[in-house]
Structure 1
Amino acid sequence: VLFYSYTKRFTALCHLVLGLGLALAPIGAYIAVTGVFNIVPLFYSFAVLFWVSGFDIIYALQDENFDREQKLHSIPALLGIKNALRLSVVLHVLSALCVILPLLFVQFSWVYYIGIAFFCAMLIYQHLLVKPTDISKVDRAFATTNGYASVIFAACFLIDTFLRTGLK
């Protein structure tokens, strides 16, 4: 996505490039369907940017030594595992804030709150699974928790939208 693999040849910000590529979807889809700009979908685009960047950093922990040997750039190769995990936490906190901020603009139903809680719980769980001294659970943190987080949050968002609007 957006030359992600190629960017590893010249910048450790490759994780943000991947996140940006996927972050275009929420705002792009909203504008395509409605024909207007709205700030709320922008929060979801930023949530995706920070979420994907954060979990890609976790996934890249497995390649830290390979990246260094091959002179490839990544956050783990640049900062080391401990600091890469710290940055991933910061990105995931920002992602959580971005799914909470729409509450200031939209009166969501209780279902959306469940989605937020589950999404945030999965972010926390990822960081409990992977430690600087033990990255053996990266696959579970990356694939399983992100799979559940995305499906459950999306389902809660869609159910909430139906409850609030009746899909008018």
Structure 2
Amino acid sequence: MEGVRAVTTVEDATGPAPAQGLGGKAKAFKNLVLLEHSVFALPFAYIAALTAMFSASRTVHWRQLVLVTIAMVGARSFAMAVNRIIDREFDARNPRTARRELVTGVLSVKAAWAGAITALAVFLAAAASLNWLVFWLCPLAVVPLVLYPYGKRFTNVPHALLALAQAIGPIGAWMAVSGAWSWSAVVLGLAVGIWIGGFDLIFALQDIETDREQGLGSVPAKWGVAVALTGARAAHVVTMALFIVFGALTHAGGFWWFGIVVVAAAFVYEHALLSPTDLSRLGRAFFTVNGFVGIALFCFALLDLLVRGLRG
């Protein structure tokens, strides 16, 4: 994670070498899509899937859980690759993103498209292996993923499109293992989407000036730092309320509610790190705290399900 102020370095005369061979291109593609950022959404897909399994049979179905993992990683990798491909010209003019693989030539656009299509095929194959309902609903998940990178070209709130795309994950995970619609999953999906949309407001603070220069829309670029921070705080208050509703709908036990307290404390800490006049700790607020939120709540949710009788 880069800081608020980009640090520029001088490349040598030859520049970075293009990735060679299948292994080199695969590594470059992994770096392109930031595979480690799966830590944000994947834990909530697990919460949805395991809660659905608990509701149905109180038994973990490991094949389904593995397929949910494959589907989530495939969908996210496809989305990130397409995002990077679509935004590569804007990235080249932004000091923070000018060293991305498609800008420097480490990875070609052709190779990125090959990786994106492969990731999409993996997602579709995993969905079909889970059940045909989620397979036929896959376009509802894919369209927002493709639409999001275009959002900043026509709206000042592209964060809402990201929230919609991310909300689909837990809903899809629940339906993947149950084969049925669930309002509990919708509540969890909304919580996750609004949470991620909220911290995307924080992430966008890094690019205020370059977004304005390039005519790209975002809440910080349009209305400033203070409005973006207020919006992020409001989003995370709503997130907490939805986590509480999800716990009530699923009759969660003590560990879930303790996890809610921990997450609330993490949100308070996150927003205490930032102010309109001091964004120096933005990296810690964005990646470290929000990565902790997903992992921590999953751990408490899993403990709660195990105590209540979930069997491996």
Q: Indicate whether the TM-score tops 0.5.
A: yes
Q: Secondary structure at the match of 1:108?
A: coil
Whether 1:137 and 2:281 are equivalent positions in the alignment is yes
Structure 1 residues 11-160: aligned runs within 5 Å: 11-160=155-304
Whether 1:6 and 2:153 are equivalent positions in the alignment is no
Provide, for residues 12-52 of structure 1, a one-character-per-residue CA deviation record: whole Å limited to 9, x for no partner: 22111112111101011101101122211111101111100
Offset, 1:120: 1.4
- Matched pairs, number: 168
Name the amino acid aligned to 1:33. V
Structure of larger gyration radius: 2
Provide, for residues 83-135 of structure 1, a one-character-per-residue CA deviation record: whole Å limited to 9, x for no partner: 11111111111111110112332322211012111111111111110100011
Name the amino acid aligned to 1:63. D
Q: Secondary structure at the match of 2:202?
A: helix
Name the amino acid aligned to 2:265. A
- Unpaired stretches in structure 2, ≥5 consecutive residues: 1-78, 80-144
Identity of aligned residues (%): 37
- Structure 2 CA distance, aligned partners of 1:36 and 1:167? 22
- Structure 2 CA distance, aligned partners of 1:152 and 1:60? 25
- Unpaired stretches in structure 1, ≥5 consecutive residues: none
- Structure 1 CA distance, aligned partners of 2:213 and 2:169? 34
Stretch deviating more after TM superposition (45-54 or 33-42): 33-42
Task: Let me know the Cα RMSD of the aligned residues.
Answer: 1.3
- Structure 2 CA distance, aligned partners of 1:78 and 1:35? 42
Q: Secondary structure at the match of 1:37?
A: coil
- Structure 2 CA distance, aligned partners of 1:19 and 1:167? 33
Instruction: Give me the TM-score of the superposition, normalised by structure 2.
Output: 0.52
